[in-house]
Amino acid sequence: MILQPEDFWSFYEWLMRPESFLESAFLQGIVLFVLAIVIGLMVGYIISANRYGPSEGFYAVARAVRDLIRFDLPGTSAHRVFALARLAFKEAIRRRVLFVVGLFVALLLLAGWYLNPESSDPARLYISFVLTATNYLILALALFISAFSLPNDIKSKTIYTIVTKPVRATEIVLGRMFGFMAVGTVMLVPMGLASYLFVSRGLRHQNLEVVDVVEEADGSLVGETDYVQDHKHSFTIYPDESGSTAQGLTDVVRGHRHIVTRDASGKFEIGLPQPLRARIPSYGDIQFFDRGGNSKDAGVDIGAERFDAGGYGSAGISRVIGLSGGSRKVQHGYVEGGTLGKAEFTFQNVTPERYPDGLNLDLSLRAYRSYKGDIESGIRGSVTMKHPTKDIESNPISFVINEYEVDELLLPLTPEGTDNNETRKLNVFEDLVDENGQLVLVIKCLDRSQYLGVTQSGVYLRAGDNPFWWNLTKAYISIWLQMAMVIAFGVMFSTFLSGPVAMVATFACVLLGFSAEQVYDTRHFIDSGIERGGGPIESMVRLLRQDAMTTQLDVDTTAAKVIKTTDAGIVYSLDAIATALPNLPKMVGTAEYAASGFDILGALLLRHAAATLGYCLLAFIISYFFLKSREIAA
């Protein structure tokens, strides 16, 4: 899993952007909110003017705004909202929406036949399946119940039994939203419990047995397990302070490991698999150095595409609620082997309290071979601990790059090293960590003419693990936020459209949100002049002329300028529409954290919650005005 630069921001950095307040989510959110209100008032005036005339249309819009500010918002009753939400909840239940839970359980039962527990990473496979299935089922349900409820009530005239009572439009809208959200919540809880049981039980396999144990000179025990379900583990048990051996861990195979225990009688016991993890990563700042030892902004370019999708310009609205576009596409930066090339990571808050048993270093690296070399041995790398400012560093710790898997290294707290060219035993916290809690790790490639690929998120210190159930809960909270957003949009469209049309409009918003990043990429290519076939008009011209997309457009200067200008206008229009909508792939992407065994960042979840609140508030105001216009028309 590769994180984008904005994924490292704290909630405050995302919300306020102290270094550039104009690009902050807070300011741009206000801009989008005001812009949406202005456009809404203009559209409302046009409709009212067409219905009542220019002057009376203005007064109709003014009265609606006055009623919202002076009467409806201050007079909104929590008791009436709760009563209406309860009615909406009962209405949805009567439509037998709970069958979705049964459908989900049926999917889990059938999945046991098709999901392969002998895959290279069954934990990732199982977790991805349950979260993806839950996500799509809940969003489809939210789309259906929110889009059809109000139009059906208006069509059957049952809405009049509500509007004839002392009930405000704000209460009707809020009651619908909260009632449908309650339905989704009631369904998510059993689906989450079923998912946890399915993943936990599906990843268990029969107990292993120790078949080979060798005692090393330092008193540690090195052994292997027997071969079960096409895999086996090796393990090491180190002696404790009393000199007796007690407990150790196996290596990670197929995404899981076991605890190995040796009792006083010398009998070994291997525990159940422990695949369900939520690593708490501590990321550092990365700095590349070229083969001459000179600092560089990026690693060696081995020919892979490198580009920025978006930015903070006119697509800044994409940062409005902070979930859309403008993200920088991150690819691996490569370090040349056998030279002075390296990647340095500076980690913060390296303290004995966080790492009492040693520094757990996780590596997710790539390897690029400029020649075939020794395929079986693999490409070698090294890790060196270094003081940020002083000439003190540990001896290199070598490893073999294991691509597409996370390598776990335990860096010792008392390594051998050099202090101003003097060899001695070092203490990490006393000799290598500075007074600010900073530590530098140097990653090198040892094989000449081979390359090691790293990203900022590919090398991190693991401060510990959170319980898997809590990580899965946070993934389900993210699904709930997506559901709430879809319900808000569905209720909004249902206030002025028929049920089927409201459902299609809501689905179009969701689809545009999922397609937003393609719009950002296209706009970037047009802005930067990179020839990728251009926008829609230029692409059509190329198709008709059968021109290659990588060549210059073979038309006269004036025509080329008109085509490119038109394309830019079309793409920017699509960009404005797409970036004003939630970028659901970012929210769906939280499932990738849980599936990859990473703790879902609290700041990321807060950003999603703030985004959802902003969109729901905007949908609530628009829904209010459209519902008021229907009441006036009636």
Measure the CA–CA gap between 208 and 215, rounded to whole angstroms. 20
State yes or no: pLDDT of 117 exceeds 70.
Answer: no
- Per-residue confidence (pLDDT) for residue 322, from 0 to 100: 36
Q: Which whole number is the average pLDDT over 236-264?
A: 71
Q: What is the pLDDT of residues 179-196, one digit of tens each?
A: 999 999 999 999 999 999
Q: Using alpha carbons only, give the angle 94, 96, 99 rounded to the nearest 5 degrees.
A: 155
The residues with which 399 forms a beta bridge, in sequence order, are 381
Measure the CA–CA gap between 340 and 301, rounded to whole angstroms. 16
- Tell me if 591 sits within 8 A of 597, measured CB to CB: no
Q: How confident is the model at residue 308 (pLDDT cuts 50, 70, 90)?
A: very low
- Tell me if 289 sits within 8 A of 342, measured CB to CB: yes
Q: Using alpha carbons only, give the angle 594, 598, 602 rounded to the nearest 5 degrees.
A: 90
Q: What is the pLDDT of residues 376-429, one digit of tens each?
A: 678 899 999 999 999 999 999 998 888 777 788 889 889 999 998 899 999 999
Lowest mean pLDDT among 101-115, 278-292, 524-538: 524-538
Say how many C-beta atoms besides its own lie within 10 A of residue 311's C-beta: 20
- Tell me if 187 sits within 8 A of 99, measured CB to CB: no
- Per-residue confidence (pLDDT) for residue 318, from 0 to 100: 30
- Tell me if 256 sits within 8 A of 123, measured CB to CB: yes
- Per-residue confidence (pLDDT) for residue 307, from 0 to 100: 39
What does the block give as tokens for 421? 């060219």
Q: What is the pLDDT of residues 437-477, one digit of tens each?
A: 999 999 999 998 899 999 888 899 988 888 889 999 999 99
Measure the CA–CA gap between 630 and 634, rounded to whole angstroms. 6
May I ask the CATH class of domain 281-466? mainly beta
- Tell me if 499 sits within 8 A of 156, measured CB to CB: no
Could you state, in order of their start, the residue ranges of all structural domains in the chain? Answer: 5-202+467-633, 210-270, 281-466
Measure the CA–CA gap between 95 and 462, rounded to whole angstroms. 48
pTM, entire model = 0.81
Q: How confident is the model at residue 315 (pLDDT cuts 50, 70, 90)?
A: very low
The widest CA-to-CA distance across the chain, in whole angstroms, is: 96
CA 245 to chain centre: 42
With a CB cutoff of 8 Å and minimum separation 6, the contacts of 496 are 626, 629, 630
Tokens 């007690």, located at residue:
246
Measure the CA–CA gap between 240 and 263, rounded to whole angstroms. 13
For residue 587, the SS3 value is helix
Q: How confident is the model at residue 634 (pLDDT cuts 50, 70, 90)?
A: very low
Mean pLDDT, rounded, of the chain: 81
Which is nearest to 380 in space by CA: 401, 403, 350? 401
State yes or no: pLDDT of 83 exceeds 50.
Answer: yes
Q: Which whole number is the average pLDDT over 20-26?
A: 75
